[in-house]
Amino acid sequence: MNQLDALKQFTTVVADTGDFKQLAAYTPQDATTNPSLILKAVQKPEYAPLLAEAIARHGTADKVELMNRLLVRFGCEILHLIPGRVSTEVDARLSFDTAATLERARRLIALYRAEGVDSERVLIKVAATWEGIRAAEQLEREGIHTNLTLLFSFSQAVACGQAGVKLISPFVGRIYDWYKKQAGAQWDEAAMAGANDPGVRSVKRIYEFYKRHGIPTEVMGASFRNVGQITALAGCDLLTISPELLAQLAASEAPLTRALDPEAARTLDIPAVRYDEAAFRFALNEDAMATEKLAEGIRAFVVDTIKLEALMV
């Protein structure tokens, strides 16, 4: 059994790509997208027709609606190839605007429904800011499920659990990147690999807290830099993995054992934690890594969204 098949015994495998033609090779349950992945895809010859079609059919619409249509078209194409859910992201420029995030999310779901897609098969991705979490809380009340992304801290995860969001995406690789950069020449790659990787430790802490306290929010590790980070999180609810790393897992027959176990987590002595707005903002501010990576991630998604809009002119 290869490592990808072994991983699927413990964890729901999700493909992290806008390149949906690669999905059949790895048979993931779900798929995730973001503006950067869609931008990368539409610049390939095989996906350019989707962009051209969106412009031809909806070219008189404003750029916001045109973007909505393009995202939903990609999502529908992906849903034809997977049995589960696709995550579609709200414009990162709305990350600090609860009302605007709600409006955009509802529009995306309406477009999916118009295409005959059951809303249970769609997760609306929202940045895990305080405003984004509040929007997600309301969307969940309306039966619109959410995926809280750009999540780097325990405080973000706790607030998402309190809000009853469907799923969170803690970013393993970007946490790893920050600590490696901070350490500079003192970084010991071997010593900080696997279970000692700071990104892996962050996800493990969140997973164990959720399981210990019966929080049903799903944990989906994301943003991996290497296979070792993935195998160290075997047993996590879900893991969203790039096609390149899916290929490496499929090509390896090295042993893979479960690393995270919900039953074991339920026996741990982990105190309950809750945050109101002030406590959340303070806790996030105290975490330099999370504060920096959240801001950086929002800015990066905004840049790629603007580039994608430019291609629609």
CA-to-CA dists, residue 288 to 97, 178, 179, 302, angstroms? 23, 10, 11, 21
d(CA 62, CA 125): 22
First and final CA of the chain: distance in angstroms? 48
Q: What is the largest CA-CA distance in the chain?
A: 58
State the catalytic residue, choosing from 125, 166, 211, 293. Answer: 125
Q: Give the length of the chain.
A: 313
| Residue written as token pair 């780097």 | 152
Instruction: Identify the three-state secondary structure at position 16.
Output: strand
d(CA 273, CA 291): 20
Instruction: Identify the three-state secondary structure at position 116.
Output: coil
Q: Is 125 annotated in the active site? A: yes
Here the tokens at position 32 are 């995730």
d(CA 107, CA 109): 5
CA 308, chain centre distance (Å): 20
Catalytic residues: 125
